[in-house]
């Protein structure tokens, strides 16, 4: 009798859960045929295009020669795993620039032709023949960006390297998920994402402003590693004879009263100290009264096509200033 009761209790716990997971997954997949969730798309990005790198300082890179439709746009990678055209390693006469960065440089959420990388390449090429090789990979920090340059970028023998720095570049190298299979479930991804959003809504301590500011606290390991990677990049520039520049991309939540001015000043101060020209774009966006008009979508604060156009416009002269030193 007691055993039968235990079976009934187990059934009443497990059966509704299993049924809900099955029906919820089906319902969500039907809903997502016509709607886009940022976190689900990021999870799909990881599964479709990211692979482990044998180099722990890189962590992950893009699967070469692959394509996925993410956030409503196509992302196609070349034989090196870059979201770019195929460039021969041997140089021609054109000036060659390598862009380093994360998902913003990759052009997450915008078509390739709308990315600031593409717009800058076209504008620079109109002045003097120029090729821009885009090494932007989602979720990269400065350490990963510099190590990707070492592993795959230097062979292109660039005249110039431009690193597009974002406030989260001082994060530690991201770790692989402990439960990689769960990313296949849209329902699990939805719950993971929404519970995170709920916590942020109920507590300021887990919001993005506190999180990003904390990356630059006195003694922060991530910021120390980021500084070290920037110094390493400057040394590489001297060794290989390329002109190095850094562009600080703005975080697009609050532009009129920018909350990360102190953090941008810290990065600028470090770059000035090691002799690297830097352009902070945050002040250029100060007069944007509606930050959401620059977002890919309401649940995704990556820059949209308009923001990419502005970034390209504000950055053009800074990049065009100099060629090979």
Q: Does 73 bind another protein (CB under 8 A)?
A: no
In the list 200, 234, 279, 310, the residue contacting another protein (rule: CB under 8 A) is 200
Residue spans of beta strands (DSSP E) within 119-212: 130-134, 160-165
Residue 203 or 272: the one with the smaller Cβ distance to another protein is 203
When binding is defined by CB under 8 A, the residue of 58, 59, 246, 255 that contacts another protein is: 59
- Count of residues in contact with another protein, rule CB under 8 A: 54
Q: Assess 180 for contact with another protein (CB under 8 A).
A: yes
Q: Does residue 65 bind another protein (CB under 8 A)?
A: no
Q: Which of residues 287-306 bind another protein (CB under 8 A)?
A: 292, 295, 298-302
Among 26, 30, 195, 224, binds another protein (CB under 8 A): 195
Q: Shortest CA distance to 230 belongs to which of 207, 246, 254, 211?
A: 246
* DSSP secondary structure letters along 27-80: HHHHHTTT---HHHHHHHHHHHHEEE-SSTTT-EEEPTT-EEEETTEEEE--TT
- Token pair belonging to 128: 């003097």
- 253 alpha carbon, distance to own chain's centre: 16
Q: What is the 3-state secondary structure (H, E, C) of 238-270?
A: HHHCCEEEEEECCCCCCCCCCCCHHHHHHHHHH
In whole angstroms, how close is the CB of 66 to another protein at the nearest point? 15
Helix, strand, or coil (residue 129)? coil
Q: How far is the CB of 246 from another protein (least distance, A)?
A: 19
Contact with another protein (CB under 8 A): which of 1, 3, 7, 90? Answer: 7
Number of CB atoms found within 10 A of residue 239's CB: 9
Neighbours of 39 (CB within 10 A): 17
Residues that bind another protein (CB under 8 A): 7-8, 11-12, 15-17, 19-20, 23-24, 38, 42-43, 45-47, 50, 52, 59-60, 103, 138-139, 168, 174-177, 180, 183, 189-191, 194-198, 200-201, 206-208, 211-212, 253, 292, 295, 298-302
């Amino acid at each position: 009798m007691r055993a039968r009761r235990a079976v009934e209790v187990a059934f009443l716990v497990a059966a509704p859960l299993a049924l809900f997971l099955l029906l919820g997954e089906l319902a969500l997949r039907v809903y997502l045929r016509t709607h886009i969730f940022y976190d689900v798309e990021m999870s799909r990005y990881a599964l479709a295009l990211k692979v482990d790198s044998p180099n722990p300082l890189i962590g992950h890179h893009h699967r070469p020669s692959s394509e996925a439709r993410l956030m409503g746009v196509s992302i196609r990678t070349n034989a090196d795993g870059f979201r770019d055209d195929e460039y021969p390693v041997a140089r021609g006469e054109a000036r060659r620039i390598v862009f380093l960065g994360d998902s913003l440089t990759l052009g997450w959420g915008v078509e390739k032709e709308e990315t600031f990388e593409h717009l800058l390449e076209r504008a620079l090429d109109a002045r003097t023949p120029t090729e821009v090789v885009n090494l932007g990979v989602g979720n990269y920090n400065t350490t990963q960006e510099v190590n990707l340059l070492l592993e795959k970028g230097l062979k292109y023998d660039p005249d110039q390297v431009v690193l597009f720095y974002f406030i989260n570049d001082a994060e530690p190298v991201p770790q692989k998920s402990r439960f990689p299979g769960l990313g296949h479930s849209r329902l699990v991804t939805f719950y993971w994402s929404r519970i995170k959003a709920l916590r942020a809504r109920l507590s300021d301590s887990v919001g993005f402003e506190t999180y990003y500011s904390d990356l630059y606290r006195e003694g922060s390991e991530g910021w120390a590693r980021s500084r070290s990677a920037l110094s390493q990049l400057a040394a590489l520039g001297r060794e290989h004879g390329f002109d190095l520049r850094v562009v600080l991309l703005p975080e697009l939540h609050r532009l009129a009263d920018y909350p990360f001015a102190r953090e941008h000043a810290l990065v600028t101060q470090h770059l000035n100290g090691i002799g690297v020209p830097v352009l902070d774009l945050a002040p250029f966006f100060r007069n944007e009264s509606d930050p959401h008009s620059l977002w890919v979508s309401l649940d995704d604060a990556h820059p949209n096509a308009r923001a990419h156009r502005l970034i390209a416009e504000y950055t053009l002269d800074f990049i065009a200033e100099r060629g090979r030193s």
